[in-house]
Structure 1
Amino acid sequence: MATPTPTSPLVIAVPKGRILAEALPLLARAGIHPEAAFGDENSRALRFATDDPGVALIRVRAFDVATFVAHGAAQIGIVGSDVLAEFAYSELYAPVDLGIGHCRLSVAEPAALASRDDPRGWSHVRVATKYPHVTAAHFARRGVQAECVKLNGAMELAPTLGLAPRIVDLVSSGRTLRENGLVEVEEIMQVTSRLVVNRAAMKTRADVAALVEAFRRAVGHHSPLSAREGVK
């Protein structure tokens, strides 16, 4: 695990893609102003400077944000609650719901199947998903045995090509599902992006604690850490 010294730059991990655009105004409100290339999706750079020499940004895949922060390579990150639920890293502390990245994690299946299907009658399901742990836990709570086929993308192809009759994936507008002949049949969880912090860094670095409070103010949470939310 990386153990940066208190004088080393504070590294913030931010996900690529849709969340990046929503995160930029939030970063600015928290006093973090990255170099121009950070907001350029065509840039192949991964690490970026800010106007504060003590703060750097890295731009990585959403699933990797949690790993970078949990292992101390970054001290702070922005990541969806779906990723936190899937990995459940004990090294992570998620003190602030940032109120961005709204979507849901849902079960979907072909429209033709859904027209005659009732999820309440399921006893066994085979699903393609990049969330096998969350999916299995959801169905276990319902007493349903779930066989999960792990995929990292192109989930909507699984029913068409016979890999699995159903999928579990993030849904925002639902357009991708519709264009691939799928419909939502069950919601697993609502998802928003959270500020995550490495627990050890939160305890040992004053700049980390200060930045958490800056993000709290940026999203309208002005109160200090409550006892309930404190690092354990």
Structure 2
Amino acid sequence: MSAPLIIAVPKGRILDEALPLLAQVGIEPEAAFADPDSRALRFSTNHPTISLIRVRAFDVATFVAHGAAQIGVVGSDVLLEFDYSELYAPVDLGIGRCRISIAEPVGLAATEQRERSHVRIATKYPHLTARHFEAQGIQAECVKLNGAMELAPTLGLASRIVDLVSSGRTLKENGLVEVEVIAEVSARLIVNRAAFKLRAAEVAPLVEAFRKAAA
């Protein structure tokens, strides 16, 4: 008997939207998965051959790329940041919709006095950000933050931020304004390329089931 198929899912908002899709595909996690007091990270499901792991969004891509998990659900923002060649993203799940945007203090946006050769950006997407500005001939010095991005311009850490934006309310409440959308984001089903070939009999039907559920 082969090892269980492992599906990596992200903590947070995307997971809330992904659970109904998992149910449509016929995968139901054990009761502990819904227990807020549980510190477990790996869970059995109603299928003895399928397990779930619940990790940080950025780590979903890493687990699947390195073959520790065979399938995952992750935002396209993570795929843009890491650009792993080992990943195949066959299905846009149509959930977790938002955008990666550049934002800056309202005053800075109003003056239009923007330096054109060098910018300092606070972001958790340093590679994506550097590529975006480089394409415009601008050198971006990226300060890596994992949260509270909106504080960076206020406290002089960076003049702008690149972050996920949904409603824009957090930006507004922190005196920032969205000035450019880098990419629209939605959650994708990702598959390890090697697993897709070597375990096609198990993986391919699951991918097709997710495709139908998303549609």
TM-score normalised according to structure 1 size: 0.88
1:230 aligned partner: none
Among candidates 154, 172, 175, match of residue 169 of structure 2: 175
Structure-1 separation of matches of 2:97 and 2:31: 26
Which region of structure 1 is more displaced relative to structure 2, 36-45 or 46-55?
36-45
Structure-2 separation of matches of 1:34 and 1:118: 53
Structure-2 separation of matches of 1:213 and 1:85: 24
Offset of residue 183 of structure 1: 0.9
Structure-2 separation of matches of 1:94 and 1:162: 38
Offset of residue 118 of structure 1: 6.2
2:76 aligned partner: 81
Q: Deviations over 1:139-178 (max 9, x none)?
A: 1111222111111111111111111010000001111111
Query: Does 2:167 align with 1:156?
Result: no
1:192 aligned partner: 186
Indicate how the Cα distance of structure 1 residues 41 and 173 shifts in structure 2: closer, same or farther if over 3 A, else same: farther
Structure-2 separation of matches of 1:101 and 1:41: 21
Among candidates 44, 47, 51, match of residue 52 of structure 1: 47
Among candidates 87, 103, 112, match of residue 92 of structure 1: 87
Among candidates 123, 127, 143, match of residue 129 of structure 1: 123
1:37 aligned partner: 32
Offset of residue 39 of structure 1: 3.4
**Which residue identity is paired with 1:52?**
H
Indicate how the Cα distance of structure 1 residues 176 and 37 shifts in structure 2: closer, same or farther if over 3 A, else same: farther
Structure-2 separation of matches of 1:17 and 1:104: 16
Offset of residue 42 of structure 1: 4.4
Among candidates 121, 138, 144, match of residue 144 of structure 1: 138
1:108 aligned partner: 103
User: Quick check: 1:20–1:39 contact (8 Å CA) kept in 2?
Assistant: no
User: Quick check: 1:30–1:211 contact (8 Å CA) kept in 2?
Assistant: yes
Aligned length: 214
Q: Deviations over 1:14-53 (max 9, x none)?
A: 0001111100001111111112332345432111111111
Offset of residue 12 of structure 1: 0.3
2:2 aligned partner: 7
Q: Runs of 5+ in structure 2 lacking a partner?
A: none
Structure-1 separation of matches of 2:33 and 2:5: 16
Q: SS of the counterpart of 1:79?
A: strand
Q: Runs of 5+ in structure 1 lacking a partner?
A: 1-5, 221-232
Q: Deviations over 1:50-98 (max 9, x none)?
A: 1111101010000000000001110000011110011011110000000
User: Quick check: 1:131–1:168 contact (8 Å CA) kept in 2?
Assistant: yes
Offset of residue 123 of structure 1: 2.7
Among candidates 208, 213, 217, match of residue 208 of structure 2: 213
